[in-house]
Amino acid sequence: MPHARTALFASVLWLCSPVPDGGQAQTLDLSLTDPEAIAAQCGGDPNAGAPHFEALCSACHATEAGAESTGPNLHAVYGRAPGSLEGYDFTPAMDAWAEGSTIWERESLHAFLSDPAGHVPGMSGGGAVTDTVVRTDLMTWLRVNTTPPPPAPEDVVVPEEVLAMEGDRAYGEYLWGECAGCHVVSGEGISQYSEGLDRDAFIRALFEYRARARPNQTMQNVAGNLGDAEIAALAAHFEEIRP
């Protein structure tokens, strides 16, 4: 994921900026698994959304994990960085737009689907879904049907090669600028970190947020925009500053 750094910056700005839609939370809780709770949060009716997906999207998009289609597979699209799906060849237009964008979630999908070509000039793909009710029902159906339940923390695997990676400390220090607003280094240590958190546990924590095995949404978004090399770089910097 070459664009993780810009996407991370954008996502933190996004999380901290005033909410444009009248005070509703912008991000959805991706840990929810109960369809009724999801529908309440998304504000739509998944049953009404099913035929819209069938009519408007299914010709180009599969939603089952691993299935092939002409458009990118939409399994687990919520929480994914735009244009980041492994093995799918996005257009240069989409790549360029994705570089400055945040993860796919409620606000970003609404904006995109209401006018894909206007939003991402030059992309290939489907038409606009301008009716707000149709769009909301469709997105609620997508959220209910394409977001896998989060794994248990102990089921999250941190690959050996990531633990063995020597992170780029200078890059880690640079990236840390986006963490420092919430994780303040002081005489007493680093706020919000458990006592005794070491480098490997730090890496594991970020993997668990990225997999949504830990429920904190802010950190899910932060970690969702970090690639393995970024996590290793941050860990190298953390190793230097941890108490």
| Identity of the residue, 30 or 129, whose beta carbon is nearer to ligand HEC in the bound complex | 129
CA pair distance 45, 136, nearest whole angstrom: 8
As given in the structure block, the two tokens for residue 213 are: 């095995």
Member of 202, 210, 213, 217 binding ligand HEC (CB under 6 A): 202
Q: Taking CB under 6 A as the criterion, which residues in 139-158 touch ligand HEC?
A: none
CA pair distance 222, 12, nearest whole angstrom: 7
Member of 48, 197, 229, 241 binding ligand HEC (CB under 6 A): 197
Q: Pick the piece of the chain touching ligand HEC (CB under 6 A) from 41-49, 145-153, 162-170, 199-207.
A: 199-207
| Identity of the residue, 41 or 80, whose beta carbon is nearer to ligand HEC in the bound complex | 80
Smallest gap from Cβ 22 to ligand HEC, in A, equals 22
As given in the structure block, the two tokens for residue 205 are: 């924590």
Cβ-Cβ contacts under 8 Å for 161 (sequence gap 6 or more): none
- Enumerate the β-bridge partners of residue 189: 186
Member of 193, 229, 241, 242 binding ligand HEC (CB under 6 A): 193
Member of 46, 49, 72, 79 binding ligand HEC (CB under 6 A): 72
Q: What is the 3-state secondary structure (H, E, C) of 83-111?
A: CCCCCCCCCHHHHHHHHCCCCCCHHHHHH
Q: Pick the piece of the chain touching ligand HEC (CB under 6 A) from 24-32, 37-45, 158-166, 177-185.
A: 177-185
Q: Pick the piece of the chain touching ligand HEC (CB under 6 A) from 25-33, 35-43, 150-158, 194-202.
A: 194-202
Q: Name the residue among 21, 75, 79, 43 with its Cα closest to residue 209.
A: 79
Confirm or reject binding of residue 57 to ligand HEC (CB under 6 A): yes
Smallest gap from Cβ 9 to ligand HEC, in A, equals 10
Confirm or reject binding of residue 213 to ligand HEC (CB under 6 A): no
- Enumerate the β-bridge partners of residue 190: 185
Member of 126, 168, 169, 173 binding ligand HEC (CB under 6 A): 126
Confirm or reject binding of residue 167 to ligand HEC (CB under 6 A): no
Dmax over Cα atoms in the chain, in whole Å? 59
Cβ-Cβ contacts under 8 Å for 103 (sequence gap 6 or more): 7, 11, 79, 80, 81, 82, 221, 224, 225
- 120, 76, 54, 144 alpha-carbon torsion, rounded to 10°: -120
As given in the structure block, the two tokens for residue 55 are: 């009519």
Number of residues interacting with ligand HEC: please give it, by CB under 6 A.
Answer: 44
Which residues of this chain interact with ligand HEC, rule CB under 6 A?
A: 12, 15, 56-57, 59-61, 71-72, 77, 80, 82-83, 85, 90-91, 93-94, 104, 113, 123-126, 129, 175, 178-179, 181-183, 192-194, 197, 202, 205-206, 214, 216, 218-219, 222, 234
